[in-house]
Chain A
Amino acid sequence: MFNFCKTAAGGFAAAFMITSSAYAAGDLVINLDQTDPAPKKAFEDIVAGFSKENPDVNVIVNTMHKEGYKTSIRNFLTADAPDLATWYAGNRMAPFVNAGLFEDVSDVWEENGLNEQLKSAAASMTIDGKKWGVPYTYYQWGIYYRKDIFEEKGIAVPTSWDELVAASAKLKAAGIDPFTIGTKALWPTGGWFDYMNLRVNGYEFHMDLTAGKVPYTDPRVKATFDKWAELVKPGYYNANHAALDWQEAVPALVQGKAAMYLMGNFAVDVFKNGGLKEEQIGFMQFPEITPGIPMAEDAPTDTIHIPANAKNKEDAKKFLAYMARADVQTATNVTLGQLPVNSGAERPEERILQQGFDMLSNAYALAQFYDRDAPAAMAKAGMEGFQEFMVKPERADAILDRLEKIRTRVYK
């Protein structure tokens, strides 16, 4: 799979080199990392709407496989830049911003009143006091659970850590894995660490940690791991999760072998395709751990940027403004099944999305995600450490020592 992506990416890159020289002045080239049906449809609608309002602009969309895109973006930003490229907020865009490969779009924010309308995501789009792109969607993370199993076993939706642990114990005793997860691709572990740390130590500490200001050997990080161990040590996760991708962990939930899944909202579609009925799926906020700490949430934001080497920046800026508009974001996110960033956009209709929307609206603060808040080298090592912890919780100290060594090297 992985190598296929690489070859595919290489092939795409080659295709660009051949085709790009043929683009004319009125062309607007967009590189897109969305190949799944819903996101693809959403972008088709955006392009159609934009073309209607700007008939003189000829929009050309290059769609690439998501994983391949992550590596090929480095090539096409330097070698042969499109006019627009999708990417992610936070530290994930930092390498490109620092290398001068993304265009400063603060003026687009200024002219279109985005500083107000996209306020919630402004911080994650800002580096050095400038805005480097426009967010078009975000989604909540939280615990998805099997409503019917909870009812059958007489378990109420946990609202505190103790209740969550008790519910897990009850499920485990009934022969059901409390949590399912697939950690082969590492990033699902980041969601767990984020929530454990946000709930044990709070948002400010979590942000300081991902910004490299706090050592991993800090007793507060250890406290996070100790709490997490309360789920890991009794075996409340499915066995062999290191061999599974996140999608491969879904069947356990569908078959009733597992009851909960900490995930992003994009998973709901997969649950339903796997055979779960709407009424079987419940969503809950990750419960409180340290009492009194304000509840912050993970809400990764997907973004679109203008490469510094783009040829048609004028139309690209128009496109950014169009994508940021409240009505466009409403329509886009209905198709995506995610949440609009624009505060003027309409509330989603769908039940779980509404729940997520309310949760995020009342959230104390929003984190992006471990691999978007922390720089790449730290994120990779960190998530590897989390995976190891989820398999060998007794190695917590050794893992944290190792992460600390990497931290001192990464943030210098």
Chain B
Amino acid sequence: MSEQALAPVSSGNSPKFSGGPATSGASKTRSSKWIANQRKLAPWLFLAPGVVMFLVYVIAPIGQSLWISLYEWDGIGVKTFIGIANYIELIDDEAFYTALYNNVLWLVLYMLAVPAGLLIAIFLNQTVTGIRIYKSLFFFPFVISQIVVGLIFSWFYAPNFGLFTKLLEFVGIEGIAILADERFVTYGIIVAGLWPQIAYCMILYLTGLNNVSPDQIEAARLDGAKGWKMLWYIIIPQLRPATFIAVVVTIIGALRSFDLVSIMTSGGPYGSSRVLSYYMYEQALSEYGFRMGYGASIAVVLFAIMMVFITLFIVRMLKDEREGY
């Protein structure tokens, strides 16, 4: 393993490098070369396993997706090169815009999980008997599978017997089936998605709150800070790392939302709750989906959108590191 990993990075050295025992003179020059380059080589050696994994499982599939997106291919037969025709078709595809719009909705509304998580975290950050139980209960939705969340909410919204429908009837609104109504369906699914996401943000903030410095709070209190001012100027700035992570996971979570759409509506009614990832699945892999090329082009678009955010995060992280946060 180590020799294999060594091979590419040590190619500039003597070809006998990994050979058996040799004369003392040669071994002296070799070891001195090793010593001379050790500092340069060592990081690459340690990085090698990760780099290889990253190349094989991340970079290569990206390349493959880009490549497949230029073909007309049903996944089993012959591939035909069609250039950018798949992308041209996307521009003229209403279903694609519906999915894109829904992704934007997801992105915007999903961000509510961050302040909501913070609120609950602050609320739970106290020492009362049994607080651990309350914390675990609030954290519970994040522990259960998204599939289960989807099923629970499907029943919650179900026409006729669903709890939500009964509640609506109680306040005098009748005959609304959230998941069958193009106006509400995406919001309905996002609410289901928020339930575990809020719990996730909450746990991030709870750990963050543990690290808030008591001295600063004490000092602020002496200076007369209370309530909102205390929260805004003293607590939240100290929660910056937690906020950063919460925003990142929420954005990524919104863009890759798939399970809930699949389990709750299968993209319906008539495709009005589709998101890009689900549309990609539908076109390429589902029961009626035999269009690998088209699916891949949707995946590429989704990747491009994610890239915008990922780049922003990375730039931000590098900047922070340089400034020494």
Contact = CB atoms under 8 A, between A and B. Distances in A.
Interface of A: 1-4, 67, 70-71, 74, 77-78, 95-96, 98-101, 183-186, 239-244, 371, 376-377, 379-380, 384-385, 387-388, 391, 402, 405, 409
Contact of B290 (A100, A244, A377, A409): A377
A90 to B, nearest CB: 14
B98 to A, nearest CB: 11
Contact of B177 (A99, A243, A380): A243
B300 interface: no
Contact of B74 (A95, A379, A384): A95
Nearest to A4: B147
Contacts of B157: 243
A3 B285 CA distance: 13
A377 B262 contact: no
Nearest to B282: A380
Contacts of A184: 180, 265-266, 268-269
Most A Cβ at <10 Å: residue of B76, B77, B288:
B288
B287 interface: yes
Contacts of B179: 242-243
A242 to B, nearest CB: 4
Nearest to A69: B287
B164 to A, nearest CB: 12
Given A3-B263, A98-B77, A240-B180, A409 B89 contact: yes
Contacts, number: 90
Given A71-B286, A371-B288, A402-B94, A242 B76 contact: no
Consensus secondary structure, chain A interface: helix
A402 B259 CA distance: 28
Given A67-B287, A388-B270, 11 more contacts: A3-B259, A4-B147, A78-B76, A99-B78, A184-B269, A239-B177, A242-B177, A242-B179, A243-B157, A243-B269, A377-B290
A74 B263 contact: no
17 contacts: A1-B151, A3-B262, A70-B287, A96-B76, A98-B77, A99-B77, A184-B266, A184-B268, A241-B180, A242-B179, A242-B268, A244-B159, A244-B180, A377-B290, A379-B288, A380-B282, A387-B269
B271 A239 contact: no
B75 interface: yes
A77 B76 CA distance: 9
B289 A376 contact: yes
B172 to A, nearest CB: 17
B270 to A, nearest CB: 4
B158 interface: yes
Contacts of A2: 262-263, 266
A7 to B, nearest CB: 9
Given A78-B76, A95-B76, A242 B289 contact: no
A95 B77 contact: yes
A71 B285 CA distance: 7
A71 B288 CA distance: 9
Interface of B: 74-78, 89, 92, 94, 147, 151, 157-159, 175, 177, 179-180, 182, 259, 262-263, 265-266, 268-271, 282, 285-291
A371 B287 CA distance: 11
A183 B311 CA distance: 42
B263 A71 contact: no
Contact of B159 (A1, A3, A74, A240): A240
Given A3-B262, A384-B271, A74 B75 contact: yes
Return the 10 tightest CB-CB contacts between A and B, nearest first. Answer: A243-B180, A242-B269, A240-B177, A242-B180, A380-B288, A388-B270, A99-B77, A240-B159, A376-B288, A99-B76
A1 B263 CA distance: 7
A186 B262 contact: no
A396 B291 CA distance: 27
Nearest to B154: A243
B294 to A, nearest CB: 9
B269 A239 contact: no
Contacts of A385: 270
Contacts of B92: 405
B147 A243 contact: no
Contacts of B270: 242, 384-385, 387-388, 391
A99 B73 CA distance: 11
Contacts of B76: 74, 77-78, 95-96, 99, 101
A216 B269 CA distance: 21
Nearest to B150: A3
A377 B269 contact: no
Given A67-B287, A240-B159, A185 B271 contact: no
Nearest to A385: B270
Contacts of B291: 377
A324 B34 CA distance: 75
A402 B95 CA distance: 10
B269 A185 contact: no
A186 B74 CA distance: 22
A353 B275 CA distance: 43
B36 to A, nearest CB: 49
Contact of B266 (A185, A402, A405): A185
Contacts of B290: 95, 376-377
A388 B269 contact: yes
A239 B37 CA distance: 75
B163 to A, nearest CB: 15
Contacts of A243: 157-159, 177, 179-180, 269
Contacts of B177: 239-240, 242-243
A226 B268 CA distance: 24
Contacts of B286: 71
A391 B291 CA distance: 28
A387 to B, nearest CB: 5
A186 B94 contact: no
Contacts of B289: 376, 380
Nearest to B270: A388
A39 to B, nearest CB: 19
